[in-house]
A and B are shown apart, each in its own frame.
Chain A
Amino acid sequence: KAGVTQTPRYLIKTRGQQVTLSCSPISGHRSVSWYQQTPGQGLQFLFEYFSETQRNKGNFPGRFSGRQFSNSRSEMNVSTLELGDSALYLCASSWGLAGFYNEQFFGPGTRLTVL
């Protein structure tokens, strides 16, 4: 089975721009979660989608949004980029809801740099 894939792998944007990141989960997985990883804050939960519905959201401003399509692929969008949004964005997929004893598998991440 192919693993979780994320595109693009690297992205450079300037402040004020917006960005869209894409994630394709493992075939058959219906849950997709997004995380932000920075040296200062570590790995932080952004949101989780399951069957096209947002099931849970972390403590991030409304500039961070996402969606999930009927094929379980997911996108996350960050609008009005700030320097502090520079981070590694990781997507993870699982068969069932995260946190309910389902193994969660991560993609390689998208490295976003905001200048």
Chain B
Amino acid sequence: SQELEQSPQSLIVQEGKNLTINCTSSKTLYGLYWYKQKYGEGLIFLMMLQKGGEEKSHEKITAKLDEKKQQSSLHITASQPSHAGIYLCGAGFSSGSARQLTFGSGTQLTVLP
């Protein structure tokens, strides 16, 4: 989606290293969602951020939302092979009177043992 830009597109890290994935919106967003996907499978919900400055953590994964910059970052501390997969950010955007979730193109993460 051009409305949501993710970077980098792919990332290869050594086990134990920290990493950050960014998601930037070109429009006003209503909530920012992070998901993880194994190739060809469904998306696993990681966390949802609602307001600027909000930060959430789940195990070794932390996400923050900078509402002014319309940007979110996902940080993984001490990466493990189990963190490998595709990370997708999604955001709620207005669609007429409705809203819909639009997703970024994903970041492919490889963690080398």
By size class, the interface of chain A is 20 to 34
Known: A99-B98, A99-B101, A104-B101. A111 touches B33 (CB 8 A): no
Interface size class, chain B? 20 to 34
- A-B contacts counted at CB < 8 A amount to 73
Inside 8 A of A106's CB, which chain B residues have their CB? 35, 42-45
- Say yes or no: is B76 at the interface (Cβ < 8 Å to chain A): no
Residue with the highest number of chain A CB atoms closer than 10 Å, among B40, B48, B93, B101: B101
Residues A104 and B30 in contact, CB atoms below 8 Å apart: no
Complex Cα spacing A43 to B48, Å: 18
Instruction: Write the nearest CB–CB distance from B67 to chain A, whole angstroms.
Output: 13
Q: Show 8 A/B contacts (Cβ-Cβ < 8 Å), sorted by A.
A: A43-B103, A48-B98, A56-B98, A90-B42, A97-B98, A99-B92, A99-B95, A104-B33
